[in-house]
Amino acid sequence: MHRMTEQKHGFWFHFLDVLLNIVVIVAIVAGIRTFLVSPFQVEGNSMVDTLEDKEYIIINKLAYILGQPKRGDVVVFRPPNDPSKFYVKRVIGMPGDKVLIKDGFISIEQPGQQDFQQLDEKSYLDPQNLGRTYRHPPSSGDTSPVEYDIPADKYFVMGDNRGGSLDSRSFMVNGEPEPFVPRSDIKGRVWIVALPITKIHALEVPSYAK
């Protein structure tokens, strides 16, 4: 009888130990996904050639817990036109910037400046997209100027496939343009392309010409 009691106690001790380990592992994984990194799958071709359809990416959430998005970051966010989804685009305009789309190029007037400076996008736009950034609709070929004044704590985002991207140029809410993404809706910076294995690499933030 004494031996059976010891065995029973041993079973429950082992069971609770396994259960506790499972709980700890689940909590660690949940914490990592919530605060550090998280996987996503790219859908569509709006970021070609930087990201391609069906690629798996890892986003760095900690980067925006400790800091703020930077111009050129490729980010995952909830778009104002459909907050139930996640989009992946590149940050082009920062809070307080003025963004000018004209003659196929983007120019930025930063806070405190008195003129627009053309953004150097050669490091991430392929020849089919460089010099072919148009106003809404993105595939229109309309080179007439359009300007955006970005409010505080909001961002202007665009896909690298400029003629095939639903982005800040096109976001609409209740039939009205809503081009800016609130800081709170940006979930993380794309850190690594994880799959397919043949394309594993880390994304670099472009170094814009001064």
Residues with a catalytic annotation lie at 46, 89
Where would I find the beta strands (DSSP E) of 61-97? Answer: 74-77, 87-93
Residue 46 in 3-state DSSP? coil
In eight-state DSSP terms, residue 25 is H
**Measured distance CA(188)–CA(78) in Å, rounded:** 11
The answer to whether 78 and 86 have CB atoms below 8 angstroms apart is yes
Place of tokens 């665009």: 158
Amino acid at site 156: F
Nearest 5°: the CA angle 70, 75, 78 is: 120
**Measured distance CA(97)–CA(151) in Å, rounded:** 8
- For the chain, the straight-line distance linking the first and the last C-alpha, in angstroms and rounded, comes to 83
131: left (phi over 0), alpha (psi -120 to 50) or beta: left
Listed in sequence order, the residues at least 6 apart from 3 whose beta carbon sits closer than 8 Å to its beta carbon are: none
**Measured distance CA(60)–CA(63) in Å, rounded:** 6
